[in-house]
């Protein structure tokens, strides 16, 4: 039986280049698909950091020039195998030889316009791979289904290839001027319409992916429904409703090798379900010492690991933070983002020196230690396409308290002390005091009913957060497409 061939196209992929959850998904999903019998490969830009680290492992395949408007641009193709997955890299030092994955927004539009055209130019003979499915991720690849339709299929190329477009975050859409995109993409005028790639009179990469792909997925079932509503649709809710027949929600999973308290090398003490109480106590004590907080084992330690942006509900937290810190608790925040929020949390720490720490930085090893040390994990997102932090926290026995939206609603079930069912705490409204009152209830349960709390921790730690179920859902989607 012939293997289904899939090429993932993305702007980032762990471990090569990462800024967020997109890289985690593209870094894990291909190996899971291959384990279930597919031939899934990945293509992405060859950033400077990848060259510097993997130069001896990269194999040169070919080079050519692409006509981008009035410019003729070099496009190199490199490949390497990493942990059983074949990766391809598009090389162009003018666009990708920067320290950062993303740069200034309008320039990123040009960089990823080149990348998308270079990917299609490399398909087939140049890479010796003819995918059955081209799976594109987020706005940086949203024009690919349209470009296939405009440049290749009219001439008999890739007519049997199907396209899947995954929306990881609808907020970021790839918007630029008509003249610039017409120049960069060499698109006929019939595509530059409101029925094509234009939204509110300007080209929109995210809209193009939704309109021209064969199937659209989001990263959780609830988010797939929410984005039909104006509040969550980021201006594209009408477009999504028009194409609702091809929108599906598939929940992300975790890399269980990376996020595993039994083997996690960053922890003070590794632990599993059998000894989580001792393991978490040791990690909590170590974190209190590292943060110069009072070494008290029975005070609830609240943790939050997040980007400091409005999406993550930090306004809700700031609204009631002083009230929260009056409780008998400790709070540690880790994250970076908007300068306003960074400053607000620094000032809050000064007001609450005895029981709060604001770690305004990115630290992978500290995030591991905070997941293990914390008792309650705070994640009050205004919207959350999927979210991985709540799943990681449960796997580490750090009970999530979330707003019931998107993937948070799909993964966190409110705990019922009577039946012992549920794995966390959830509030429905975007209301700071709803969050605060629920947090007080959670801390009360922690202090007064250790048996119920241990059951809550057990439920979270024994949940299924693997990619196997999600990978099978993608396989079913591919099969449906190829049989249609």
**What's the average model confidence in pLDDT over 117-126?**
95
Nearest to 140 by CA among 172, 164, 162: 172
**What's the average model confidence in pLDDT over 59-85?**
94
Cβ neighbours around 34 below 10 Å, total: 18
pLDDT at site 20: 80
Tokens of 326: 């009056």
pLDDT at site 93: 95
The answer to whether 53 and 24 are in contact (CB under 8 A) is no
Considering the chain, what percentage of its residues have pLDDT values greater than 70? Answer: 100
327 vs 315: CA distance, rounded Å? 19
161-188: per-residue pLDDT in tens? Answer: 999 999 998 989 999 999 999 899 999 8
**What's the average model confidence in pLDDT over 42-63?**
96
pLDDT of residue 455 exceeding 90: yes
272-294: per-residue pLDDT in tens? Answer: 999 999 999 999 999 999 999 99
| H-run or E-run covering 247 | strand 247-249
200-226: per-residue pLDDT in tens? Answer: 999 999 999 999 999 999 999 999 999
Nearest to 279 by CA among 366, 372, 368: 372
What is the C-alpha R_g of the chain? 23
pLDDT at site 411: 97
The answer to whether 131 and 104 are in contact (CB under 8 A) is no
The b/e string for 455-467 (b: 16+ C-beta within 10 A; e otherwise) is bbbebbbebebeb
pLDDT at site 56: 94
Task: Kindly indicate the confidence band of residue 1, based on its pLDDT and cuts at 50, 70 and 90.
Answer: low
**What's the average model confidence in pLDDT over 157-161?**
94
pTM of the model: 0.91
pLDDT at site 68: 86
Which has the minimum average pLDDT: 179-183, 296-300, 470-474? 179-183
253-275: per-residue pLDDT in tens? Answer: 988 989 999 999 999 999 999 99
461 vs 377: CA distance, rounded Å? 14
Fold of 5-253+468-483: Rossmann fold (3.40.50)
pLDDT of residue 350 exceeding 70: yes
- CATH annotation of 276-461: 3.40.50.2000
Considering the chain, what percentage of its residues have pLDDT values greater than 90? Answer: 92
pLDDT at site 70: 82
419-454: per-residue pLDDT in tens? Answer: 999 999 999 999 999 999 999 999 999 999 999 999
The answer to whether 73 and 94 are in contact (CB under 8 A) is yes
Residue 49 DSSP class: H
In the chain, what are the domain boundaries? 5-253+468-483, 276-461
245 vs 214: CA distance, rounded Å? 10
**What's the average model confidence in pLDDT over 383-389?**
93
Which has the minimum average pLDDT: 21-25, 322-326, 402-406? 21-25
How many angstroms separate the Cα of 428 from the Cα of each of 98, 209, 381? 42, 31, 11
102 vs 62: CA distance, rounded Å? 25
User: Checking DSSP bridges between strand 399-403 and strand 376-379, what pairing results, if any?
Assistant: parallel
Give the contacts of 401 (CB within 8 A, at least 6 positions apart): 376, 377, 378, 379, 380, 424, 425, 426, 427, 435, 438, 439, 442
pLDDT at site 460: 98
How many angstroms separate the Cα of 361 from the Cα of each of 19, 364, 390? 14, 10, 20
294 vs 64: CA distance, rounded Å? 62
């Amino acid at each position: 039986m012939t293997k289904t061939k899939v090429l993932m196209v993305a702007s980032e992929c762990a471990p090569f280049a990462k800024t967020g959850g997109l890289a985690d998904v593209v870094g894990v999903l291909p190996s899971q698909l291959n384990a279930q019998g597919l031939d899934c490969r990945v293509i992405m830009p060859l950033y400077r950091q990848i060259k510097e680290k993997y130069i001896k492992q990269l194999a040169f395949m070919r080079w050519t020039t692409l006509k981008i408007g009035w410019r003729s641009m070099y496009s190199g193709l490199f490949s390497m195998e990493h942990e059983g997955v074949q990766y391809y890299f598009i090389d162009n030092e003018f666009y990708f030889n920067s320290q950062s994955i993303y740069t200034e927004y309008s320039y990123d539009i040009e960089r990823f316009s080149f990348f998308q055209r270079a990917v299609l130019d490399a398909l087939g003979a140049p890479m010796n791979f003819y995918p059955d499915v081209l799976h594109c991720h987020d706005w940086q690849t949203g024009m690919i289904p349209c470009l296939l339709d405009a440049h290749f299929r009219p001439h008999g190329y890739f007519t049997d290839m199907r396209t899947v477009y995954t929306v990881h975050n609808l907020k970021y859409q790839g918007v630029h001027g008509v003249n610039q995109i017409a120049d960069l993409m060499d698109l006929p005028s019939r595509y530059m319409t409101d029925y094509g790639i234009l939204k509110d009179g300007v080209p929109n990469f995210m809209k193009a992916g939704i309109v021209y792909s064969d199937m659209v997925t989001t990263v959780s079932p609830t988010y797939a429904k929410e984005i039909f509503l104006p509040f969550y649709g980021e201006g594209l809710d009408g477009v999504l409703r028009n194409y609702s027949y091809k929108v599906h929600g598939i929940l992300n999973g975790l890399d269980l090798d990376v996020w595993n308290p039994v083997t996690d090398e960053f922890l003070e003490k590794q632990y599993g379900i059998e000894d989580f109480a001792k393991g978490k106590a040791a990690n909590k004590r170590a974190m209190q010492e590292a943060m110069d907080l009072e070494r008290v084992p029975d005070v609830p330690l609240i943790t939050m690991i997040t980007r400091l942006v409005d999406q993550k509900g930090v306004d809700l937290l700031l609204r009631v933070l002083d009230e929260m810190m009056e409780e008998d608790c400790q709070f540690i925040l880790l994250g970076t983002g908007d300068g306003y929020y960074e400053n607000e949390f620094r000032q809050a720490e000064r007001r609450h020196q005895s029981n709060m720490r604001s770690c305004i930085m990115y630290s992978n090893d500290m995030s591991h230690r905070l997941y293990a040390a914390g008792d309650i994990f705070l994640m009050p997102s205004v919207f959350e396409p999927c979210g991985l932090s709540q799943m990681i926290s449960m796997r580490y026995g750090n009970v999530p308290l979330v707003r019931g939206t998107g993937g948070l609603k799909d993964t966190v079930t409110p705990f019922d002390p009577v039946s012992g069912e549920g794995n966390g705490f959830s509030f429905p409204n975007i209301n700071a005091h709803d969050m605060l009152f629920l947090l007080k209830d959670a801390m009360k349960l922690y202090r007064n009913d250790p048996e119920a709390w241990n059951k809550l921790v057990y439920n979270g730690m024994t949940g299924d957060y693997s990619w196997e179920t999600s990978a099978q859902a993608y396989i079913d989607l591919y099969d449906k497409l190829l049989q249609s």
